[in-house]
Chain A
Amino acid sequence: MSDSQLKKSLPIVTRRTAVKGGFATLGAAAFVGAISPLRHAAKETTAAEFMQQHYQELSDEDKRKVIARLEDETKEEYGADVTIGDDRPLPGTKFVYAINLSVCNGNGKCVEACHKENNHDRATNQSYIRVLEMPKGTMDMEQGNTTYTHTVPDDGKFYLPVQCQQCDEPPCVDVCPVQATWKEEDGIVVVDYNWCIGCRYCEAACPYHARRFNWKKPEVPAAEVNPDQSYLSNRIRPQGVVEKCTYCLHRTRRGRLPACLEACPTGARVFGNILDPDSNIRWLLENKRVYVLKEELGTKPAFFYFFDK
C-alpha cells in the first residue's frame, strides 16, 4: 500500500473521527457521572484496607497494624472505644453445643443476647439464632413457625432453636470461592470479614440458615457497642460481607461461656469441650438420646439436640 492512498482517506476519517471523538468524550463523561456514587463508597475504603491480605497470611506485625486500624475506625465511625483481640484456638479443644429440647420454652432470650453481644445492626434486629415453634409429634420443620408473638410456652408445642451447627463437613466452607471462611482447630467456622467478597454462595449452601449478609452498614449506638471484640468474631462488620455465629469465640476462647447460654433462663443450653472427658457436655452426649439436624445431608454438625425423657 502506498502512502498517498492512506493520505487520501485521511480527511474523511478525520472529520468522522472528530465527531465520534466528541461523542465518545461525552459518553465517557456521562459514564463518570453515572458511577460517581462510587466515590462516596471509595472514601470508606483506605488503601491499607484494600490491599490487606487474607487473615491467615498476616504476620503478627501485620495483625497488630490491622487491628489498630480497625479500632480507630470503630472509634471514628461509631464513637465507641473497643478492644479487638486476636483470639486463637486453645490447644486440645473442640467446642460443641447441645440444647435440651425438653427444657427450652421458646422465650427468645438467647436471640436477644446474641444480637447485643455480637454488635448486630439495630434496625434489622439481626441475630444468629432463630427459634422454631413446632407442634409436638413432628420433627418436620415445615410445621414450624419462627414469628410467634404469644406467651410461651404454648400448649402442644415445643421449641427448636437453630444457629450455626459448626459442621465438621461445612458446605459453606467448600463453596466459598476465595477461602474467606474456614474451620478452625477448635471446630469453629469463621469468616475473615476483610476478605469476603460478598457473593453469598455460602448463604445458599448452608442448610441451617446460619449465615447473615450485611445488606447495609450496621447501625449500633455508641452506648450499646459491645467493646470486647475479636477479629474473627463480634467486631462490627463492614457493609457487604457475610457473617455468622462463632460460638462467641471472643468469650469461649477466653474461658467464658457463649452469650446465648448465659442468657438462657431455663438452662436448656450446654456448651463445652468434647475432648475433655470430665466435661458436662461429654457426659450428656454419652448418656442422653442425642440427635442432630438434617443428618442425612452429611454435614456432621457439632451442635446437638436432646430430650430429657
Chain B
Amino acid sequence: MSTTNQPSAILSYPAFLRRSLSLATDGSLRFYAWMTALTAVALVGANAWANQVATGMITTNMTDHVSWGLYIANFTFCVGLAAGGVMMVIPAYLYDDEEMHKVVIIGEAVAIAAIVMCTLSVLVDLGRPDRFWHLIPGIGRFNWPMSMLTWDIIVLNGYLVINLHIVGYLLYMRYLGRKPNPVWYFPFVFLSIAWAISIHTVTAFLYCGLGGRPFWNTALLAPRFLASAFVSGPAFIILVMRVLRITSGYSAPPGPARTLIQIIRVAMVINLVMLASEIFTLFYTGGAHGVSAEYLFFGLHGHHGLVAWIWTAIAMNLLGTVLFFTPAALQRGWTRILACLLVIVGIWIEKGMGLIIPGFIPSTLHEIVEYAPSLVEWKVTAGIWAFGLLILTVMLKLIANVFTGQLNLPGSESASR
C-alpha cells in the first residue's frame, strides 16, 4: 500500500538500519562494559585463530586419529541452538498463540546469532581458510548432492537468509508503524519451521552417514539431535528473556515461557528415552559397536579422558529435567534459571565431548588416541561465543527499542496499533 505521506522504502530502509544500529549501540555503562568484554574475548579468539592459520593446525590437539574436535563439537551444538530458536514459532503460528508472537522474534534473533557461530566454527576448522571460495557454488566445485557437508552449507545459509528476512521485515514494519503484510511474512515463517528441522537433520546425517564410524552410524542420531535442540533452544531463549527483562525493561508476558517449559519437558523426556535405548543396544549387544560407548562411559584399556565429561553431562541433564518438572519451574524464579543452565551445559557436553570425540576413539583401526582441546582451541571457541553474543546483544537491543517504541519513524506513532 503506497500512501503519499509514507517515504519510499528505498530511502527509509537504509535510514532505519542506520538509526537502529546507532541506537542499538547506545546504552548504559554496564552495557558498554559488557560489549567491551565481549569484544576483548572475540579479539583474543581472532588472534588465536590467526596464529593457528599461520603455524598450522598443529596448535590444536587434534590428530589424524581424532580429526575433528572442539570446533565441530561446538558447531553441532550451535546448529541445535539455531533450530531450537525457532521451535517457539510452532505454537505461535500453528496454534495461533497470540502472546507467543512477542517472543518469536527473540527466538529468531537467537537463531541468527547461532548460525553465525556455526559458520565461524566450520571456518576455523578449515586447514585452508584461504580456499573458502572453493565452497561457493558456481565459482568453486560444489559436490552436491553427494556430500552432506554441501547440503549443510545450503540449509544453514538458507536458514540464515530466511530468518534475517523475517526479523528485518517485522521490525521494519513496526518501525514504520504499519501492520506486517502476511504475504511477505507467513510463507517464510512456515518455511523457517520446516527449515529449522532440516538444519539439524542434515547436520546429524553428516555423522550418521559414515559407515566406518559405528558410534555415529545410528538412525537415532537425527531424532536425538532434534529432541535435544528442542531443549537447548527454548532453554536459551528463556534465559535471554530474563536478561532482557532485567536490563532493558522489555518484558514478555509469562505465558510464552510456560509454553516453552512444556516443550522442554516433553522434548527432554524423549531425548532421555532415546539415549537410554541407544545405551541399551550398545551395551547389551556389546562387541565392536559398543567400544566407543565403553570408552566414553567407563574408559577403555586404561584410557578414560571422556568419562568425567559424560557423567557430568548426564548428571546435569537429569537434574535439569527434574527441576523442569517441579511446579517452581513455571514461576519466574531461580529454579527455572538453574534448570535452563543445567540442560544447556549438559547438552553442550553431550553433543561435543559426548558425541563427536568418541566417534573417533577408538579409531577405525581400533587404536586409542585420546583428545583434549588445546588452549588455542578454547580461545578460538570462546571468541566465537563472544562474537555470537555480541551480535545477539545488538539484535536484542534493536528489538527492544522497536518494540518499546523508542525507535520508530517520526510521525508514525499514530499509525501504530
Contacts and interface: CB of A to CB of B under 8 A. Distances in A.
A27 interface: yes
Contacts of B47: 33-35, 37
A204 interface: yes
B365 interface: yes
Interface stretch (B76-84, B92-100, B124-132): B124-132
B140 interface: yes
Interface in B112-144: 122, 125-132, 134-135, 140-143
Interface of A: 1, 5, 13, 16-17, 20, 27, 30-31, 33-38, 40-42, 45, 50, 54, 130, 132, 140-142, 144, 146, 162, 171, 174-180, 195-201, 203-209, 211-217, 238-242, 294, 297-299
Contacts of A50: 130
Interface string B262-303: 000000000000000000000000001001000000000000
Contact of A178 (B46, B134, B213, B363): B134
A204 B206 CA distance: 10
A177 B135 contact: yes
B53 interface: yes
A252 to B, nearest CB: 24
B51 interface: yes
B149 interface: yes
Contacts, number: 182
Given A37-B47, A197-B126, A207-B364, A179 B143 contact: yes
Interface stretch (B62-70, B235-243, B394-402): B62-70
Contacts of A217: 56
B58 A216 contact: yes
A206 to B, nearest CB: 6
Contacts of B55: 37, 216
B363 A241 contact: no
B56 A216 contact: yes
B56 A214 contact: yes
Nearest to A24: B25
B1 interface: no
Given A197-B127, A200-B68, A176 B143 contact: yes
A150 B118 CA distance: 47
Given A204-B210, A208-B365, A38 B134 contact: no
Contacts of B364: 206-209
15 contacts: A16-B26, A54-B141, A171-B210, A177-B135, A177-B142, A177-B150, A179-B142, A196-B131, A199-B127, A204-B213, A205-B210, A207-B211, A213-B57, A215-B63, A242-B127
Nearest to B127: A198
A178 B51 contact: no
Given A54-B141, A204-B67, A207-B211, A38 B54 contact: yes
B149 A199 contact: yes
Given A177-B135, A213-B127, A217-B56, 13 more contacts: A20-B22, A30-B39, A36-B50, A38-B54, A171-B210, A175-B147, A177-B150, A178-B135, A196-B127, A197-B128, A199-B127, A242-B127, A299-B211
Contacts of B206: 201
Nearest to A177: B149
Given A35-B47, A204-B68, A178 B142 contact: yes
A195 B134 contact: yes
A30 B45 CA distance: 12
Nearest to A178: B134
Given A54-B141, A178-B143, A200-B127, A142 B366 contact: yes
Interface of B: 7, 22, 25-26, 39, 43-44, 46-47, 49-51, 53-58, 60, 62-65, 67-68, 122, 125-132, 134-135, 140-143, 146-150, 153, 206, 209-213, 288, 291, 359-360, 362-367, 409-411
B166 to A, nearest CB: 27
A202 B23 CA distance: 46
B32 to A, nearest CB: 9
Contacts of A37: 47, 50-51, 53-55
B66 to A, nearest CB: 10
A93 B55 CA distance: 41
Contacts of B411: 1
A132 B365 contact: yes
A173 B253 CA distance: 52
B127 A203 contact: no
Contacts of A179: 141-143
Nearest to B210: A205
B147 A201 contact: yes
A40 to B, nearest CB: 5
Query: Top 3 closest A-B pairs, CB basis?
Result: A198-B127, A207-B212, A240-B127
A174 B148 CA distance: 9
Contacts of A20: 22, 25
Contacts of A238: 128
A242 B134 CA distance: 15
A299 to B, nearest CB: 8
B316 to A, nearest CB: 27
A297 B211 contact: yes
Contacts of B363: 209
A241 B359 CA distance: 22
B26 A180 contact: no
B148 A175 contact: yes
